[in-house]
Each structure stands twice: as structure tokens, then as C-alpha cells.
Chain A
Amino acid sequence: MNPLNYAILKHFTRVDEACAEDVIEALKGEYGKFRALNRKDVISSLMTAEANGLIEESRFEMDAAGLLRIYYHAHEDGANTINKYIKD
């Protein structure tokens, strides 16, 4: 089992794009009991990863509940860096 933050980043090497809600949904099976698996903390992790060039924003939209959803994807360099440092 990887630390939660690693699992969040690793998720982007397996999907085309994802927003915080997608990440939470994908990881809740294994990490459901982790208190840090919440919208606020996951968004913070994603924005930090974006600021360091690991992932980049692909699009954004407002959902039905009026919440902003920002989608990210791992570009080639970012995915290579994530895979280099974080093993399965």
C-alpha cells in the first residue's frame, strides 16, 4: 500500500484526466478510512502537484451542485517523473 499522496498522483498515470471528486471516488475503496481523503485536502494536493509541474490542468466546469471542478492530467514528463519516484 502506498501513502495516500502517492496514490493520488499515481492515479493520474492511469487515467486521461480526473478532478478531485474522481480521485476520491477511485481511491475510497482502499483509502476510505483516511481522513485526508476529502475534497479540500485532495484539491490542495492537486494544485501543489500542478505548481511543481507533475500534472497540468485540462479543463474546468461548474457541476450541478454549483461546485467548481478542475480536471487535471499528467503530461508525459509529469507521468515519467511520478513513475520514476513512485512505484506500485
Chain B
Amino acid sequence: MNAVTGSTYSDSLAVAAKKKVASQFFKKGIVIALFSGLMYGFYSAFLTLGMSKGVWADWYGAKTVLSAFVITYLLGALGSAVNDTTSAGWALLNVGVKGKMGDFFRTLKTKPGQVMILAALVGGPISSTAYVVGLQMAGSIVIPITALCPAIGAILGRLLFKQQLNKRMMLGIAICVIASFMIGSTSIGGDAPEGMFLGICIAFIAALGWGFEGCVAGYGTSMIDYEISITIRQVISGLSNLIILIPIFGLLAGDIGLSADLAVQAFSSGPAMIWIAIGGFCAWLSYMSWYRGNSMCGAALGMACNGTYSFWGPFCCWIVLGVIFGMDGWSIPPIAWIAAVVMVFGILLIAMNPLDLFKKGKQMDDQKIAS
């Protein structure tokens, strides 16, 4: 395939340099995708911290004047909206500083840009709402169900974009999903109410939506600059949460004006916004790395690496909330450590054939599966 020109010495240099470049690109993709999982963990920790400070402490406190519906649905969606909007601010600042603002607006008007908007709507307000509603209807059993999203992303990547998905990779994905189940299962309590089956089905929509977003946005990032992709995602997700979702919850709570009132209070609560702004920064890094990692590694491997957030989430909450801020109840269950090891094995299995490690002289290119 490669017609190398020049002397024999130059040929061997070119072959060595080419192998190095290909290997570095693949490894970089994995590191970026894993980084997205780590940043998701920090984003969860700082958002949780922010939502325990300032006006949020009053809303969630014992002397709250808000109804159970508002606390459960509206505040959850408001936290997500404030976070995504803050994250959109970081993303816009980044493209502004790097001189990509013009390309951001030009991309919005194009077909790939509109597909990215669809992915943002599906992965943002639609999946987030499905998750919250599923959680309320079926209880915490839905938490591990959302761990299916890497498997869904890999299958969609195969169906929509003909990405590679062989038996070894499927086994690796299954191992990662089982590991996430192991961690998620620790959240399951005896809180299964009536309508549980419907709640599980609705939560599955969330897993489907996140799988769709990861796969489609990852592929879209092969056409759109990754920094512009994530700016579109966060701006659309933040605005749609704020302008559409929050008022809908306000309407359902019987007072549409309440949603605007709470949103203004949330944005102007300094002690909370400091931490939510850090959470938004981590969310920007996390989603940007998720899209970029998926575009470099393919949906199967990229989403499995990102799926390590099911470990990084409790881990970062333990570090930030438990160790640094001394809050109770954030220790990591021992099963999470075991699951993390299982997950590493699953990712290794997706990325390469472990038997290759024992074969001498095997070319690195043979290990590259996701190009």
C-alpha cells in the first residue's frame, strides 16, 4: 500500500516514523477518551458540591418551602441547566480566544452542524429528562441500566458508520458494562415503586440517547473541529434546558413563573456558582474529550474508555466531597475498586488482542483496531 521513495536508509526511517505516528495517534485517542471519564467524575463532584451551597442549601434543607415535585424534578433539571450553560460559557471563551468563533457560527448552518445540534438535544435535555423521570418512577435500579450506553454506542457505530465491531470487542464491551453494573448496583435500594417497568423503559431511552450522542457526535467530529463540536453541544444543551425544559417542569409544578425565579436565584448565588463554574469547566473538558476520543478511536473503544466515569464518579466525589470537604457518606464501596480492575481488562480487550502481547515481532499496526 505504501510506495516509499528514496534510499533504503530513508525508507527505513520513513517506515519507523510512520509506525510511531500511527501508534501515537491511537494511544492519544485512548488517553483522551479515558481523560473524558476522569473529568466527568470531577464535574459530578463539583456540581454536587455547588448544589449543596448557597441558595441550593436552603432549597434542599429541612426548612425548604418548595414542594417535593419541585425539589425532585425542577431542581435536578435546573442544576443540569446551570452547569451546561456555564460549560457553554467556557466553550465559547475557548473558541473566541483561539479565533474559531466565525467557524462556530458557520458550522451551525451546515448539515453536520445540524446533526450535532440533534445529538446535543438527544443527549442533553431528552436523555437527562428520561433519566430523571426513570429514576423517579423505577427507583435507583435505573442507575446501572444507563451503563448500557457504551454497548448501544458501539452497536450504532457499527450500523450507522460501519465501524469495526468483532466478537472480541463485543466481549470487552460486555465486560465493561458488567463492571459498570457492579458499581451501579451499590446504588440500588429497596425503593421500587409502582410503574417500575415503565420507569426502566424510560431510563433505557436515556441510555439509548447517550449511546446515540456518543456515536453520532464522535463521527461528526471527524468533519467538525472538536472544539467547535463541543461548543455546539454545550450551547444547545444549556439553552434548551434553560428555555424549554425548566419552564415545562415549572408548568407541571403549577407555576411557570417559579422556574424563572429559581433560575435567577441559582445564577446569582455566589457561594454555589464558584463550584458550579469549576464543574462546568470539567464538563466542558469531559464532553470535548468524549467527542474527540470517539472520533479518534471509534465509538466502541471511545465509549468504553469514557464509561470509566462509573468508577471516576464515586472516586472523585470521595476525593472532593469526602476527603477535601469532609462530608459524610462519600466513601467508595470495595466493589468499585474490583469493578475498576474488571473495566481495565474490558477496555484492553476492546483495544487489542491480549494474545498479541505474547507474540514476538508482531506489528503495532495489527493491534490497531479502530481505524
Chain B residues within 8 Å of chain A by Cβ, number:
38
Alpha-carbon distance between A36 and B225 when the two chains are bound, in angstroms: 10
The reply to whether A3 and B224 contact each other, CB–CB distance below 8 Å, is: yes
- Quote the shortest CB–CB distance from A12 to chain B (angstroms): 12
Alpha-carbon distance between A66 and B1 when the two chains are bound, in angstroms: 21
Contacting A at CB under 8 A, from B252-307, are: 295-298
* Cβ contacts B349-371/A at 8 Å (1 or 0 each): 00000000000000000000011
Give the bracket for the number of chain A residues in contact with chain B. Answer: 20 to 34
Using a Cβ cutoff of 8 Å, how many contacts connect chains A and B? 100
Specify the chain B residue showing the minimal Cβ separation from A5. Answer: B225
Query: Which residues of B lie under 8 Å from residue A6 when comparing CB positions?
Result: 107, 110, 112, 223
Query: Which residues of A lie under 8 Å from residue B14 when comparing CB positions?
Result: 60-62, 68
Interface of A is mostly: mixed
Specify the chain A residue showing the minimal Cβ separation from B226. Answer: A48
Alpha-carbon distance between A84 and B297 when the two chains are bound, in angstroms: 23
Given A51-B222, A52-B222, also A3-B295 (CB < 8 A)? no
Specify the chain B residue showing the minimal Cβ separation from A56. Answer: B1
Given contact pairs A61-B6, A68-B17, a sample of 12 additional A-B residue pairs in the complex whose CB atoms are under 8 Å apart: A3-B103, A5-B103, A5-B228, A35-B98, A35-B99, A47-B21, A48-B222, A54-B223, A60-B14, A61-B4, A68-B18, A82-B223
B interface residue numbers (CB < 8 A to A): 1-6, 10, 13-14, 17-18, 21, 25, 29, 98-100, 103, 106-107, 110-112, 161-162, 219, 221-225, 228, 295-298, 370-371
- The 12 sampled A-B contact pairs (Cβ below 8 Å) are A2-B110, A3-B103, A5-B225, A9-B223, A45-B225, A49-B223, A51-B222, A58-B1, A59-B1, A60-B2, A66-B13, A87-B111
A interface residue numbers (CB < 8 A to B): 1-6, 9, 33-36, 45, 47-54, 57-62, 66, 68, 70, 82, 84-87
